[in-house]
Structure 1
């Protein structure tokens, strides 16, 4: 009874598991003895706390810093320093890419394709332009009535300059006014290329791409703070995949929704995709890569997309 109540209940509960009290419980317990033992333990605990007055507060402070700012690494570097280092370590550093996702009204899809075909190819064709259209697709498997565009800028100065030019371009502004009523919603992300995977103009597209070629855009939402670990594990296993299929590009989000990874592959059709993925599992190291990286992911999405007629990837 004395072990279950009162201000010393927590201490008493710990004492209940001591050999001494277990022995006493087997016979008869003297209430005065229990209270004496509890008081002795409490005094000892108070003495320990008094000898290290800052230990508890330091622990609490460390816990809140970890929640709000992320835990330091093994070398003790601050999280802010590491976040900068991660981008420098992972990013190719040559381009900035913008991912645009347009969710189109089903009844407006044909008009949408015709309108973007009229305006998107001309953007970036001017001499000295800081932007190029990397590719444009519509979703075949995934969220339907969706268009995906990837733009390539000469890093942030190129992005800033392009936005200034387009803001003063009356033809482009008229295009935007005609475009908006066709959309249910839209969003974008600023992405950086992974250093180990050169996309953009350096990418090798299929030598004779079929009109029926498909592209797979895979999107992963990683757990916060796991980006570098994912990159290191996935880079090791990429060799197994690239033996059978040429990667188109791989990026991680920098602005917009964070902790996202996107990578794209090209296949002649879904059957070939199936066969190539199965072959990759036969290569040593790929299964280990999947096992380690999947633990770092909160959400996964695989979209099959087909290039629009005006897309450079077509």
Structure 2
């Protein structure tokens, strides 16, 4: 039986006339003394246009290089870097819930327990409050190489192909996110419990993850008095700028 999951929801000095006249003559002589190759001129114009487009894009949307550096820095500062987690959410047809439970209860443990796969199943939960008839699965891979290796292997696995064929007709929709766990909050190992779990989701403003984590982390200890932390993750692929964390209540 799947455990239950709660989801709340500068200035320029002007030239004198004489200086300006001298400058004009110099520029004129310079222009007339040079012969410009048309092909070179065309390439130069294209290069200038490309630089102009880059400048405009940087002004409107921010520098791509700086954004990449910021994202890498945040990931290195916040994440443990050992594992990659995948959050899967399945929305099941109401009349197919029982059939879905039987199917995933059989096949998901087989995938997780296969020693050739670099993946572990952190847990599976059914949603009681929030999106009804939905189920949440969290997988733990041995880094991105483990994620890639596992997917490639499953694509060539006959049993997995059969499982996916049976799964498709039972679903309304499915979604997933690739996440990293926060370095101060290690994901708990799988365990069977009849308690209630709470999965919280936060959608952050872009570029505010590090700031948010600093404030949020200070307040986590207060909750430990009443419930046990299961895990906390921030998205890397999928719905970006999103944080999930889970607690379990006795």
Give the shorter-chain TM-score range: 0.7 to 0.9
CA 1:120–1:210: 2 relative to 1, 3 Å = closer
Aligned to 2:243: 261
Gaps of at least 5 residues in structure 2 are: 1-9, 15-53
Equivalent residue, structure 2, for 1:215: 197
Equivalences for 1:2-151 in 2 at 5 Å?
Answer: 65=58, 67-69=60-62, 78-151=66-139
CA positional deviation for 1:239: 1.9
Cα distance, 1:232 vs. partner? 1.0
- Tell me the CA shift for residue 198 of structure 1: 0.8
Query: After alignment, is 118-127 or 176-185 more displaced?
Result: 118-127
Deviation at residue 49 of structure 1 after TM alignment: 7.7
C-alpha spacing 1:128/1:68, structure 2 compared with 1 (3 Å): same
Q: For the Cα contact (< 8 Å) 2:226–2:249, is it kept in 1?
A: no
- CA offset at residue 51 of structure 1? 5.6
Partner of 1:37: none
Whole-angstrom CA distance in 2 between matches of 1:143 and 1:109: 13
1:181 and 2:181 correspond: no
Which residue, 127, 140, 156 being the options, matches 1:152?
A: 140
What's the CA shift for 1:242? 2.1
> For 1:41-72, what per-residue CA distance to the aligned partner results, in whole angstroms no more than 9, with x for missing partners?
xxxxxxx98669xxxxxxxx98963541269x
Q: Is it true that 1:198 corresponds to 2:200 in the alignment?
A: no
Q: Distance in 1 between matches of 2:193 and 2:68?
A: 47
Structure 1 portions without partners, runs of 5+: 1-47, 53-60, 72-76, 269-314
Instruction: Please list the CA deviations of residues 229-282 of structure 1 after superposition, one character each: whole Å capped at 9, or x if unmatched.
Output: 1111111211222233221000000001100100000012xxxxxxxxxxxxxx
Say which SS state the counterpart of residue 113 (structure 2) adopts. Answer: coil
* Distance in 2 of aligned mates of 1:188 and 1:70: 29
1:229 and 2:211 aligned: yes
1:6 corresponds in structure 2 to: none
Q: 2:183 is paired with a residue of what secondary structure? A: coil
Within a 5 Å distance, the mapping from 1:241-280 to structure 2 comes to: 241-268=223-250
Q: Any conservation in 2 of the 1:70–1:225 contact (CA below 8 Å)?
A: no
- Secondary structure at the aligned position of 1:160 is classed as helix
Structure with the bigger RCO (C-alpha within 8 Å, sep 6+) is 2
Per the alignment, in what secondary structure is the counterpart of residue 112 of structure 2?
A: coil
Q: State the Cα RMSD in Å.
A: 2.5
SS in structure 2 of the partner of residue 123 of structure 1: helix
Aligned equivalents of 1:145 and 1:91: distance in 2? 32
Structure 1 residue 169: Cα displacement: 0.8
Aligned length: 202
Distance 1:172 1:210 in 2: 27
Task: State the distance in 1 between where 2:90 and 2:137 align.
Answer: 8
Q: TM-score, normalised by structure 2?
A: 0.74
**Greater Rg over alpha carbons, structure:** 1
SS in 1 for 2:219: helix
Check the 8 A contact 2:177/2:236 in 1, yes or no: yes
Distance 2:76 2:232 in 1: 16
